[in-house]
Amino acid sequence: MSDAYLALEDGRVVEARGRVPGRTRGELVFTTAYTGYEESLTDPSYEEQVLTFSYPLIGNYGVRSERFESDRVHPRAAIAREFTEDVVEWLNEEGVPAIDHLDTRELVTSIREEGAMRCGLAVGPDATPEDAKAELDACQGMSEHVDIGAQVSVDEPTVYEGGSAATVALIDCGAKGSITESLLERDATVHVLPYDATPADVAAVDPDLLFISNGPGDPENFEAAEALVEEFVGDLPVAGICLGQQVVANALGGSTEKMAFGHRGVNQPVRDLETDRVVMTTQNHGYTVGEPGDRLSVTQVNVNDGTAEGLENEELGVITRQYHPEAHPGPNDSLDFFDDVLDLVSTDTPVATSD
């Protein structure tokens, strides 16, 4: 007899083995990564989602906190064909429901065909299909989480002393720790500011660079970060990763849209339009830039579907990436993005005004 039930938006209820008990709900998504489960589970971009691993065995090299991207597990629940005891123990400590012993190949195929969908999960000896359906009924769409930034951002400004290469104001919309580490490795000092920081908060830091981080949910719900880009573009170089690219695009006259099932995994090929070079990238996003607008140029595209992976405005000093150049997990092909970002600060050419 099953002790776990997954109710899906398409009407199905999937039975499974419960590994960590609980009741929860969220948007059902998947990742194709077969390593890096610690990084994925601690990625703030998975907030309010239920993460399915397409690789069948999760946990075969243990759990080490030095690989974490934040201080907690962010998905509402975790699903795999099989979890090892190490991962189950970790998720139990975190209070995150987990299930396995179900056909994750079929589940991933459903998402690929029908798109990311709302789901409800009930796990435990007393769980019933009706419990899972009740969770599903209460589940909101991602765009309805209008203040999701508050769930993943720092509450107060935090300073990471690096060096004198640059002073970076990193707007924390759900930033992975590896972004800060990548900047520190390049001798920058990083001021991590809350997702709802004001222009005055940024000005108080006196930064050389404004950096909008990755994060969960609909970029249109990050109005404060968008306002910062509008305020400082032309006066400061501006960079963004993942959600950050989408926020920058919205701020500069572009538009964003929800994808069917998003890009998630470490095997996403991206082509640079200038060099024609293709790199493999780590990605985790459900929204994308639909139209870049008149002030941004698309410099890189996804080989599989042609969506925008890089935006730039050389005159204004703007550079963004849709993927995660800091990797962790994933290929290191695109680490030079951080060198390009800091080059915006060190250039002798003054940045143009936005007027």
Domains of the chain: 4-140 (3.50.30.20), 149-346 (3.40.50.880)
Nearest CA-CA partner of 326 in 316, 318, 317, 335 = 335
Residues 249-263: tens digit of each pLDDT = 999 999 999 999 999
Residue 288 contacts residue 300 (beta carbons within 8 Å): no
2 annotated as ligand-binding: no
Mean pLDDT computed over every residue of the chain? 95
115 annotated as ligand-binding: no
Residues 262-321: tens digit of each pLDDT = 999 888 999 999 999 999 999 999 999 999 999 999 999 999 999 999 999 999 999 999
Q: What is the average per-residue pLDDT within 342-352?
A: 68
349: left (phi over 0), alpha (psi -120 to 50) or beta: beta
Residue 348, pLDDT above cutoff 50: no
119 is catalytic: no
Strands (E), 138-224: 158-160, 166-172, 188-194, 209-212
Around Cβ 97, how many Cβ atoms within 10 Å?
Answer: 25
Residue 355, pLDDT above cutoff 50: no
215 annotated as ligand-binding: yes
Neighbouring-strand partners of residue 194: 172
Residue 115 contacts residue 26 (beta carbons within 8 Å): no
324 is catalytic: yes
Q: Which two tokens stand for residue 233?
A: 């573009």
Predicted confidence at residue 335, as pLDDT, reads: 75
Q: What is the average per-residue pLDDT within 129-136?
A: 98
Q: What is the average per-residue pLDDT within 55-60?
A: 96
Q: What is the average per-residue pLDDT within 109-135?
A: 96
Geometric angle at alpha carbon 138, from 137 and 144, rounded to 5°: 115
Q: Give CA–CA dist 315/312, Å, rounded.
A: 9
Q: Give CA–CA dist 60/82, Å, rounded.
A: 10
Residues 190-217: tens digit of each pLDDT = 999 999 999 999 999 999 999 999 999 9
Predicted confidence at residue 267, as pLDDT, reads: 87
Q: Give CA–CA dist 238/225, Å, rounded.
A: 12
Task: Identify the H or E element spanning 313.
Answer: strand 308-313
284 annotated as ligand-binding: yes
Catalytic pick from 48, 263, 326, 328? 326
Predicted confidence at residue 346, as pLDDT, reads: 76
Q: Give CA–CA dist 278/32, Å, rounded.
A: 19
Q: Give CA–CA dist 3/21, Å, rounded.
A: 9
Least-confidence region, from 164-178, 204-218, 233-247, 326-340:
326-340
One-character DSSP codes across 34-68: SS-HHHHHT-GGGTTEEEEESSSEE-TT---GGG-
Predicted confidence at residue 2, as pLDDT, reads: 78
Structure letter (DSSP) for residue 350? P
Q: Give CA–CA dist 43/66, Å, rounded.
A: 13
Nearest CA-CA partner of 293 in 248, 263, 233 = 248
> Rounded to an integer, what is the distance from CA 279 to the centroid of its chain?
19
Residue 328, pLDDT above cutoff 90: no
Catalytic pick from 173, 242, 285, 328? 242
Q: Which two tokens stand for residue 320?
A: 């963004």
> Rounded to an integer, what is the distance from CA 76 to the centroid of its chain?
15
**Number of C-alpha atoms within 13 angstroms, CB side, residue 133?**
7
Q: What is the average per-residue pLDDT within 38-49?
A: 97
Residue 144, pLDDT above cutoff 70: yes
49 annotated as ligand-binding: no
> Rounded to an integer, what is the distance from CA 204 to the centroid of its chain?
27
326 is catalytic: yes
Nearest CA-CA partner of 307 in 258, 253, 244, 240 = 258
Residue 352, pLDDT above cutoff 70: no
More confident residue, 326 or 127: 127
45 annotated as ligand-binding: yes
Q: Band of the pLDDT at 353, cuts 50, 70, 90? A: very low
**Number of C-alpha atoms within 13 angstroms, CB side, residue 197?**
32
Residue 234, pLDDT above cutoff 60: yes
Residue 279 contacts residue 269 (beta carbons within 8 Å): yes
